[in-house]
C-alpha cells in the first residue's frame, strides 16, 4: 500500500478501542503505515489504567459488555488487543500520537500515558503528517 492511513480516535468506547486494535493489527500484518491520533475522550484509551466500556448497550451493561467481548475475542485468537497494537508499534508500522491540546484541556499528564506512545502533537502536526495520505475519523 502506498499511502499512510491516519486515524482520528475521538471516543473511549470499547467499540472504538476494538476497531483501532483490529484495523491496526491487520494493517501491521499487511505492512501498512498507520498513524493514530487520540483526541478528546479518545485520549483515555492511551492512559495506563483505563478500561473501555461498551457504549452501544444500556448503562448497567456497559462494563459487563466489554468483558463479554474480550472473552469472545480470545476465542478468535485476540488475547490482548492493546498488545497487538504494541507489536505493530515495535514493528515500526503503527504510531500512536496523543493530542497535545486534549492533554492540556483535560489535565492529563505524560506520565499517565502508556510508555510506548509517541510524543504529543497538535492539530497542525497531524494535518502535516497525514498530507498525501488518507484521514479516517473512527
Question: Which residues of this protein are in contact with a second copy, per CB under 8 A?
Answer: 1-3, 5, 8, 10-12, 15, 18-19, 22-23, 26-27, 29-30, 32, 39-41, 56, 69, 72-73, 76, 101, 104-105, 122-124, 127-128, 131-132, 134-138
Shorter beta-carbon distance to a second copy: residue 73 or 114: 73
Residue in the structure block whose three cell numbers are 461498551: 54
**Residue 16 host element (H or E):** helix 14-29
Least CB distance to a second copy at residue 115 (A)? 26
Nearer Cβ to a second copy (10/95): 10
Q: How many CA atoms lie within 13 A of 56 on its CB side?
A: 4
Max CA pair span of the chain: 44
Amino acid at each position: 500500500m502506498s499511502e499512510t492511513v491516519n486515524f482520528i480516535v475521538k471516543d473511549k468506547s470499547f467499540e472504538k478501542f476494538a476497531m483501532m486494535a483490529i484495523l491496526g493489527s491487520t494493517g501491521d500484518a499487511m505492512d501498512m503505515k498507520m498513524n493514530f491520533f487520540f483526541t478528546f475522550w479518545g485520549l483515555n484509551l492511551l492512559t495506563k489504567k483505563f478500561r473501555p466500556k461498551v457504549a452501544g448497550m444500556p448503562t448497567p451493561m456497559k462494563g459487563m459488555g466489554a468483558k463479554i467481548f474480550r472473552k469472545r475475542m480470545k476465542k478468535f485468537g485476540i488475547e490482548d488487543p492493546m498488545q497487538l497494537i504494541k507489536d505493530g508499534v515495535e514493528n515500526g508500522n503503527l504510531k500512536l500520537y496523543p493530542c497535545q491540546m486534549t492533554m492540556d484541556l483535560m489535565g492529563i499528564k505524560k506520565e499517565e500515558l502508556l510508555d510506548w506512545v509517541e510524543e504529543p502533537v497538535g492539530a497542525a502536526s497531524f494535518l502535516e503528517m497525514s498530507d498525501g495520505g488518507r484521514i479516517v475519523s473512527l
